[in-house]
Structure 1
Amino acid sequence: MAKNFDFLMPSVNFFGPGVIEKIGDRVNALNMKKPLIITDKFLEHAENGPVVQTLDSLNKANVNYTIYDGVEPNPKIHNIKAAKKLFQENDCDSIITIGGGSAHDTGKGAGIILTNGDDITKLAGIETLKNALPPLIAVNTTAGTGSELTRHCVITNQETHLKFVIVSWRNVPLVSFNDPMLQLNVPASLTAATGMDAFVQAIEPFVSTNHNAITDGLCLQAIKLIEGSLREAVANGHNVKARTDMVQAEMLAGMAFNNADLGYVHAMAHQLGGQYDAPHGVCCALLLPTVEKYNIVACPERFAELAKAMGENTTGLSTRDAAELSIKAMRQMSQDVGIPSSIKAIGAKPADFELMATNALKDGNAFSNPRKGTKDDIVKLFQEAYNQK
């Protein structure tokens, strides 16, 4: 018997060159009287950048707003509390996030504590939110995390260096904007890191225990697009076709993992990112081949399908041999876009592995991994990723 499943995504998603011009009209249609704009200082001051273009549309639509520009990578609890304070002081009624995953997570986190209590650490987990967030629109500027589409909010406790996830349908933005023209000036290193995050987010749901026929199709198409466009986007950020294809890919991957969930790569990457304040996409890329090689025995036929989607020739090969080619392709992609080979590059220390392994198994992404591991297994995976050359 086929299993039942739900499928979550924003009710409206604007995609394509120039769609940012529509945001003012959409804000008015949603009766958002005074949104809090959540972004970072770099984007706010970028000449004719995403914030300028968003504000231009809002101004034309006679929308009043307040700006919080304190977003930082791996957003911390103090970031979301500062945004909440500004929201309340200025009588805001809604939120618009402009940026990549950090901006969207900050906006979701601020919305959560505005309506569900100030101690967000008590809300970590799956479907813990009892109350709706303020209306939320996400303007996406990286291809990327998929956070503009998803129910995931990832926050770092700056005191414990622990990342935690609040997964709830209430976190899904009402509207997303993905305008590839906003991404033409994204640096190569950030393009690579966010692109690898999208790559991982297309792979993990495909082998997740919660995959279904709809998410399978999304994953495979995302992988094909990434294979054909990420290298080009890193090499030439003004390649509009590559940027457009990557935006489509990250949207597909976001829709997939929003509904089929992830696995140990993300569960472990959250520990690396929280402990060493390292870029999330880089953490995912560093762990990807090691973790997925460990997972092959759980579903080799699915890894063989991944190899085909990644452009590998599997003709005449056994299922296991074809599956191994997917790991080779993952390593090659990371190498081609300039990802380091070892977690040493982000300052990882073996002394931290036991604690990180314990916390990884508690992460909300761990439960859908296809192979069930112990703390010792996770420690060994960290060690393998550390010793990679």
Structure 2
Amino acid sequence: MSASIGLPRVMRIGGGAVAEIGSVVASLGFSRPLVVTDNFLVCTGAAATMMKALESAGLSPYLFDGTVPDPTTASLEVGLAALSAHEADSVIGFGGGSPMDTAKALALLGLQGGHMSHYKAPRNNTGPALPIIAVPTTAGSGSEATQFTVISDSVTEEKMLCPGLSFLPVAAVIDYELTMTMPARLTADTGVDALTHAIEAYVSKKANPFSDSLALVAITTIGKVLRRAYLDGNDIQAREQMMLAATQAGIAFSNSSVALVHGMSRPIGAHFHIAHGLSNAMLLPAVTAFSVHDAESRYADCARALGIASVEDNDEVASKRLVEELAQLCRDVQVPTPKDYGIDSAKWQKLIPLMAEQALASGSPGNNPKVPTDAEIRDIYAQIYN
């Protein structure tokens, strides 16, 4: 059975690559990009530096810095107005997952119109969209190389997964130097997010040899350097390797799929406004423990790639070590439980039925090695609270 593979047309990877953003955009034939970013990158001066680089290449960029964490349908409205007023011919997503998700949504809505709920899974979006250039500043989401965006419905609070080639960037500029100032908490959360992408891509029912190879390489790298990057943000080698691994994991799951962790993570983010990487980290050990016996050999491969099992260890031993190591990793990088994060127990328990319903409706749990029932998802939510 063949696999359908989608990749950015152009990728610039390495320290200082962001300085080449002007030549990348110009070489693709675009002249009026809308730069979609957030207030943080405006305050650091990074957004101004990008605008100067674009202008120096003879382009006419416009800056939109109204991105919000976990973008919503309401937050897109101002961006769409900016897109139209500038008569943009392309969109640059500059930042973490939220600016890139926003850029992808604006690129599609700018040409097709409508409401983002029209484009959520199971719909596969392959229609027209403005070209997207992605410039990540965190090592985690992999959004620079994926055909997905995630937008929350401002009315229902549903965190909607919107898939399809319409959202795949035409170019990605991947510069690890942009991650050097990431604080430890963000480093940990985005790093475990990247590891989740790689593991889920490998164990997914939609896995294929192309995605497998990238997933295993990413797992190996993250196992070696995530703790280093968390403990010492100035570790240049760790930062560089984490950035590349995050992109590799993004390509892997974009061409395979995510599974139960992501299906359960999105409702947590929507209802409790927890960053996507952190909600994934809260879930990863428990979901892996739930799933491991239905794909023991695949999880064992992940354990060997992570460096905590050898070829001499049988699959049962190796997969058990993976479950233990994921729990230990989350302890080492101080991933809080929902209770530790400050979420009220009564509110958590009250929302479990709705979160389970939304997780199943996303379709992601159907890609899991062990497809859960509604009751099993509820049980996992109850387990991870404390």
> Which TM-score band applies after superposition, normalised by the shorter structure?
over 0.9
Alpha-carbon offset, residue 315 of structure 1: 6.5
Residue 159 of structure 2 aligns to a residue in which SS? strand
Q: Deviations for 1:4-43, whole angstroms, at most 9, x for unmatched residues?
A: 1111111111100011121111211222121111000110
> 1:286: Cα distance to partner?
0.4
Query: Is the 1:283–1:343 contact (alpha carbons within 8 Å) kept by the matching residues of 2?
Result: no
- Which of residues 11, 19, 22 is equivalent to 1:21? 19
**Conserved? CA contact 1:219–1:253, under 8 Å:** yes
**For 1:116 and 1:370, how far apart are their aligned partners in 2?**
36
Q: Name the amino acid aligned to 1:150.
A: T
The residue that corresponds to 2:379 in the other structure is: 380
Partner of 2:358: 359
Pair 1:266-2:266 in alignment? no
Corresponding residue for 1:36? 34
Number of the residue aligned with 1:118 = 114
* Paired AA for residue 366 in structure 2: F
Question: Mean Cα displacement is larger for which, 318-327 or 36-45?
Answer: 318-327
Give the equivalent residue in structure 2 for 1:54. Answer: 50
Moved more, 110-119 or 262-271: 110-119
241, 248, 257: which one pairs with 1:245? 241
Are residues 86 and 267 of structure 1, via their aligned partners in 2, closer, same or farther at CA, if it must alter by over 3 Å? same
Offset, 1:52: 3.2
Aligned residue for 1:148, secondary structure, equals helix
Higher mean C-alpha deviation, range 346-355 or range 37-46: 346-355
User: Cα offset for 1:245?
Assistant: 0.2
CA distance in structure 2 between the partners assigned to 1:141 and 1:193 by the alignment: 14
Structure 1: state its 5+ residue gaps. none
Corresponding residue number in structure 2 for 1:286: 282
For 1:73 and 1:92, the matched residues in 2 are separated by: 23
Q: Confirm or deny: 8 A CA contact 1:40 1:70 kept in the other structure.
A: yes
Which residue number corresponds to residue 6 of structure 1?
Answer: 4
Return the letter of the residue paired with 1:28: A
Normalising by the residue count of structure 1, what TM-score does the alignment of the two structures yield?
0.95
CA contact (8 A) 1:209 1:369 kept: yes
Structure 2 alignment gaps of length 5 or more:
none
Distance in 1 between the 2:259 and 2:151 partners? Answer: 18
Distance 1:313 1:134, change over 3 A: closer
Q: What is the TM-score normalised by the length of structure 2?
A: 0.96
Q: Could you tell me which of 108, 130, 133 is aligned with 2:104? A: 108
CA distance in 2, matches of 1:31, 1:149: 20
Q: Offset of 1:343 from its aligned partner?
A: 5.6
Aligned pairs, how many?
383
- 1:142-161 pair list within 5 angstroms: 142-161=138-157
Instruction: Please list the CA deviations of residues 118-161 of structure 1 after superposition, one character each: whole Å capped at 9, or x if unmatched.
Output: 21112111454353111111111000100111001100112222
Q: Which of 125, 132, 139 is the equivalent residue of 2:128?
A: 132
Cα deviation 1:59-105 (Å, max 9, x = unaligned): 21121111110111111111222111111122222111100110110
> Is 1:304 aligned with 2:300?
yes
Q: Distance in 1 between matches of 2:257 and 2:269?
A: 19
CA distance in 2, matches of 1:209, 1:129: 21
Deviations 1:335-384 (A, max 9, x none): 11121145652526111111100110011322211111111010011111
Letter of the aligned partner of 1:252 in structure 2?
A: Q
Q: Is residue 198–residue 250 contact of structure 1 (8 Å, CA) maintained in 2?
A: yes
Matched residue type, 2:50:
T
**Contact in 2 for aligned 1:80/1:107 (Cα 8 Å):** no
User: What is the DSSP-based 3-state SS (H/G/I as helix, E as strand, rest coil) of the residue aligned with 1:21?
Assistant: helix
Question: 2:60 is matched with which residue?
Answer: 64
- Aligned counterparts of 2:225 and 2:123: Cα–Cα separation in 1: 35
Letter of the structure 2 residue corresponding to residue 81 of structure 1: E
Residue 197 of structure 2 contacts residue 258 of structure 2 at CA under 8 Å; is this kept in 1? yes
Please give the alpha-carbon distance, in whole angstroms, between the structure 2 residues aligned to 1:216 and 1:308.
Answer: 14
Post-superposition shift, 1:115?
1.8
